[in-house]
């Protein structure tokens, strides 16, 4: 089974975020594999393993031919990667990104399944996987917390407000996974060494048959009109528990007429 | 401005979701015409509440066992063509995002998601979002042609009835969604739900990794929530650890809550958690670390051990009867 996994390479989420003069996220410096996507990579490796054949291909759209996040996913065991990096891309929104990713899936050849996270850590638009599915004309199974593949079909447990639904679709399909769907493995030393020589197909948007006008700032058709600090919430009273703090909580709840 | 709201059923299935009523309330304030599209079986049962909150008309589409978002997007694309709405609002929900994503491709329109505010500037819609864990507010305006497509986080607006009568229901045939429409819902599973709902409870008691173990959640967090007739919530750390189901997660990638009182037990107060609860009227926090960021938003901060403070609190509340 051939599986494509979308892996976004993002600035370290532990670092405080910053905006550029154009009001976009600063993406300078080292990028890392989005942890959300590590679940997709692990899931893909396990599913390919179970199917007893086929490959896992990574697809990433990133600035400056960035590969550090891709190398992490290759070190986990993916076979190869397609990287789309182009001066036409800065400013792209989720739809523009989806157009690029969908074309990359087509470039990957015979694909049975595309895996993505439900939302990225830095952008968290949460629409890209279903947009890609629509562009490809495929079914999408979103918010999966469990996946089974059998008889040419994907069956998932789809997160709902009340619990979960069991949902099924014929392959090929796009599936987006939630955190915790599997436990991602740590790359082994051998894996890290092997990753250095795995093929990364670097492509430009014109290689994908897209034009610069569809992407980047021009394609996004939106404009940031204001950036402001949120009103801060004042800290109230802080007490050390000397064994009687619960009494103060009771008094506080009484004042609020909750009890 | 003609505004449409993508209506969803509440989990119980017989009335609209609160998030839908919130969107209608806001649409009523901003639009001249407010209509809803509803994908599901029992549109007639939804019509009174949809009308009361502002929709004059509801386009109803039966989805059979297909996923709602695929059918919704296909139906919307056809309806948009004939009716030319200016703005279509979706809840930042599972089905809402599916429908929004597919519709954006069909219409070739961008999306703005995770909205927490909505305005109209001339003939364009402006969506407010909160970034960097809610510390920075950003307004983004659509610049291209409409219809504009936006998803708004639940609890961003209050749901208030406007006194309108039931919406008229116009049944619309489900269009053929091709291969995409072949996804089928086979089973529904409802996870236990006792007491008030997290998003609607007046009191929310949440637990974090500071509880120390999964076993502590029931006596400490649920025990206190029950006594305060509230709902129990959680930080992502203990959801990811598998201590409690995702449905309980409060925060950026979980639920937004705005109760009268929020009690945070053993939660550090990472920005992604704060963004989901700092709109609460009052916040009580118990944390061992006096430097924990949760104290910067707490009205009453207790520096202490949850295993010492909470059992005594539960006892004191029980003693009051
Ligand atoms: C050089 C450059 C500059 C950019 N500048 C901006 C900007 O200024 N403003 C802006 O809004 N966007 C910008 N983007 C695009 C942005 O990074 C997002 O990819 C895009 O907005 C999609 O949104 P999201 O991450 O919120 O998607 P979501 O829908 O939240 O993502 C869900 C999943 O889709 C997949 N996915 C999403 N994006 C990618 C990707 N790039 N590569 C591989 N998989 C992916 C992942 O599996 C992800 O977990 C830029 C991209 C590049 C390459
Ligand atoms: C993109 C993204 C999205 C995220 N979304 C969310 C989200 O929606 N919701 C969310 O909650 N998090 C979210 N997170 C995770 C968030 O950053 C934190 O990791 C998480 O909130 C930490 O959970 P915690 O406070 O329970 O755990 P910790 O950070 O481990 O904190 C535990 C706290 O308990 C205290 N403690 C320990 N023992 C005791 C004791 N006996 N008594 C009292 N106090 C004690 C400690 O002092 C500490 O402050 C997100 C992260 C990212 C990157």
Q: What is the pLDDT of residue A22?
A: 75
- Tell me which chain A residue has its CA closest to the CA of residue B294: A235
**Chain B (4-43) residues lying within 8 Å, Cβ to Cβ, of chain A:** 11, 17
**Chain A (212-231) residues lying within 8 Å, Cβ to Cβ, of chain B:** 219-230
Q: Which of B11, B240, B302 sits opposite A239 (nearest CB)?
A: B302
**B284 neighbourhood in chain A, CB within 8 Å:** 249, 252
Contacts of B64 (CB under 8 A, 6+ apart): B174
CB A6 less than 6 A from any atom of ligand 1: yes
pLDDT band at B133 (very low <50, low <70, confident <90, very high): confident
Q: What is the pLDDT of residue B191?
A: 79
Looking at the complex, does the CB of residue A202 fall below 8 Å from at least one CB of chain B? no
Looking at the complex, does the CB of residue B289 fall below 8 Å from at least one CB of chain A? no
Q: What is the pLDDT of residue B240?
A: 86
**B134 neighbourhood in chain A, CB within 8 Å:** 230
pLDDT band at B55 (very low <50, low <70, confident <90, very high): very high
CB A120 less than 6 A from any atom of ligand 1: yes
Contacts of B52 (CB under 8 A, 6+ apart): B161, B162, B163, B164, B165, B166
Interchain contact, B67 vs A167, CB within 8 Å = yes
Q: How far apart are CA B9 and CA B264, in angstroms?
A: 30
Q: How far apart are CA B269 and CA A12, in angstroms?
A: 19
Distance B243 CA to ligand 2 centre (A): 13
Q: For tokens 């007429």, name the residue.
A: A257
**A138 neighbourhood in chain B, CB within 8 Å:** 179-180
Q: What is the pLDDT of residue A79?
A: 97
Sign for the pseudo-dihedral over CA of A56, A57, A60, A66: positive
Q: What is the pLDDT of residue B18?
A: 95
**B188 neighbourhood in chain A, CB within 8 Å:** 160, 162-163, 165
Q: Are strands A222-229 and B136-142 parallel, antiparallel or unpaired?
A: antiparallel
Interchain contact, B303 vs A158, CB within 8 Å = no
- Looking at the CA of residue A5, tell me the nearest atom of ligand 1: 47
Nearest to B138 by CA among A225, A147, A231: A225
Q: Among A165-169, B92-96, B130-134, where is mean pLDDT lowest? A: B130-134
Distance B173 CA to ligand 2 centre (A): 47
Q: Which residues of B181-212 are buried (b: 16+ CB within 10 A; e: fewer)?
A: bbbbbeeeeeeeeeebbbbebebbbbbbbbbe
Q: Which of A125, A130, A160 sits opposite B69 (nearest CB)?
A: A130
Residue B284 structure tokens: 């009580």
Interchain contact, A95 vs B104, CB within 8 Å = yes
User: Quick one: average pLDDT of B171-187?
Assistant: 94
Interchain contact, B308 vs A229, CB within 8 Å = no
- Number of C-alpha atoms within 13 angstroms, CB side, residue A22? 10
Measured from CB, residues less than 6 Å from any atom of ligand 2 are A 13, 121; B 208-210, 212, 235-238, 249-254, 266-268, 270, 272-273, 276, 286-289, 292, 305-307
Ligand nearest to the CA of A23: 1
- Beta carbons of B113 and A126 less than 8 angstroms apart: yes
Distance B235 CA to ligand 2 centre (A): 6
DSSP string covering B247-307, please?
GGBBSTTSB----SEEEEES----HHHHHHHTTSSEEEEEES-TT-GGGGT-SEEEES-HH
pLDDT band at B265 (very low <50, low <70, confident <90, very high): very high
Interchain contact, A130 vs B97, CB within 8 Å = yes
Which residue, judged by its Cα, is nearest atom 4 of ligand 1? A90
**A140 neighbourhood in chain B, CB within 8 Å:** 70, 98, 102, 180, 183
Determine the longest span between alpha carbons in chain A, in angstroms.
70
Instruction: Kindly report the number of other CB atoms within 10 A of residue B126's CB atom.
Output: 22
- Beta carbons of A128 and A97 less than 8 angstroms apart: yes
Q: Among A71-80, B82-91, B249-258, where is mean pLDDT lowest? A: B249-258
- Give pTM, 2 decimals: 0.92
Contacts of B94 (CB under 8 A, 6+ apart): A142, A143, A158, A159, A160, A161
Stretches where chain A sits below pLDDT 70 are none
**Chain A (13-42) residues lying within 8 Å, Cβ to Cβ, of chain B:** 16-17, 19, 23
Which residue, judged by its Cα, is nearest atom 48 of ligand 1? A120
Mean pLDDT, rounded, of chain B? 95
Q: Each residue of B1-47: pLDDT tens digit?
A: 999 999 999 988 889 999 999 999 999 999 999 999 999 989 999 99
Q: What is the pLDDT of residue A218?
A: 80
- Number of C-alpha atoms within 13 angstroms, CB side, residue A16? 4
pLDDT band at B132 (very low <50, low <70, confident <90, very high): confident
Interchain contact, B137 vs A227, CB within 8 Å = yes
User: Quick one: average pLDDT of B275-300?
Assistant: 96
CA distance B49 to chain A (A): 20
Q: What is the pLDDT of residue B151?
A: 98
Interchain contact, A127 vs B297, CB within 8 Å = no
Q: Percent of chain B scored above 70 by pLDDT?
A: 100
């Amino acid at each position: 089974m051939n599986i494509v996994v979308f892996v976004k390479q993002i600035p370290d989420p532990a670092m405080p975020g910053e905006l550029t003069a154009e009001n976009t996220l600063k993406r300078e410096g080292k990028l890392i594999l989005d942890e959300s996507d590590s679940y997709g990579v692990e899931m893909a490796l396990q599913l390919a393993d179970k199917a007893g054949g086929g490959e896992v291909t990574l697809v990433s759209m990133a600035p400056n031919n960035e590969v550090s996040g891709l190398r992490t996913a290759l070190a986990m065991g993916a076979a190869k990667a397609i990287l789309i990096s182009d001066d036409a891309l800065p400013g792209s929104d989720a739809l523009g990104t989806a157009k690029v990713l969908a074309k990359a899936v087509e470039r990957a050849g015979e694909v049975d399944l595309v895996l993505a996270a439900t939302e990225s850590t830095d952008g968290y638009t949460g629409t890209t996987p279903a947009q890609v599915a629509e562009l490809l004309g495929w079914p999408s199974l979103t918010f999966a917390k469990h996946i089974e593949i059998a008889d040419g079909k994907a069956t998932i447990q789809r997160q709902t407000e009340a619990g979960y639904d069991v949902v099924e679709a014929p392959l090929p399909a796009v599936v987006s996974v939630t955190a915790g769907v599997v436990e991602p493995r740590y790359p082994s030393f051998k894996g890290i060494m092997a990753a250095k020589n795995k093929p990364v197909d670097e492509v430009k948007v014109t290689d994908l048959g897209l034009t610069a006008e569809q992407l980047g700032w021009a394609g996004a058709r939106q404009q940031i009109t204001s950036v402001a600090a949120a009103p801060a919430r004042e800290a109230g009273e802080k007490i050390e528990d000397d064994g009687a703090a619960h009494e103060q909580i009771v008094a506080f709840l009484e004042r609020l007429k909750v009890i | 401005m003609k505004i449409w709201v993508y209506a969803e059923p509440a989990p119980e299935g017989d009335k609209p979701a609160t998030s839908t009523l919130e969107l209608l309330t806001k649409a009523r304030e901003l639009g001249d015409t407010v209509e809803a599209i509803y994908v599901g079986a029992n549109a007639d049962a939804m019509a009174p509440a949809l009308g009361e909150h502002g929709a004059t008309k509801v386009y109803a589409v039966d989805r059979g066992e297909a996923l709602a978002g695929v059918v919704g997007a296909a139906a919307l694309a056809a309806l948009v063509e004939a009716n030319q709405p200016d703005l279509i609002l979706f809840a930042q929900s599972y089905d809402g995002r599916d429908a929004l994503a597919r519709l954006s491709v069909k219409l070739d329109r961008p999306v703005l998601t995770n909205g927490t505010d909505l305005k109209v500037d001339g003939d364009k819609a402006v969506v407010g979002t909160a970034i960097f864990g809610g510390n920075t507010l950003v307004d983004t305006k659509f610049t291209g042609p409409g219809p504009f497509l936006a998803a708004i986080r639940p609890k961003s607006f209050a749901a208030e009835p406007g006194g309108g009568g039931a919406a008229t229901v116009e049944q619309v045939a489900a269009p053929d969604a091709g291969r995409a429409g072949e996804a089928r819902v086979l089973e529904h599973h409802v996870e236990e739900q006792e007491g008030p709902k997290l998003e609607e409870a007046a009191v929310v008691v949440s637990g974090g990794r500071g509880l120390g173990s999964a076993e502590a959640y029931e006596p400490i967090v649920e025990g206190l929530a029950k006594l305060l007739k509230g709902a129990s919530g959680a930080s992502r750390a203990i959801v990811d650890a598998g201590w409690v189901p995702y449905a309980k997660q409060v925060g950026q990638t979980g639920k937004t809550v705005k109760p009268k009182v929020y009690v945070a037990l053993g939660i550090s107060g990472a920005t992604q958690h704060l963004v989901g609860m700092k709109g609460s009227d009052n916040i009580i926090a118990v944390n061992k670390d006096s430097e924990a960021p949760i104290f910067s938003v707490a009205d009453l901060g207790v520096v202490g051990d949850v295993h010492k403070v909470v059992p005594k609190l539960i006892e004191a509340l029980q003693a009051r009867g």
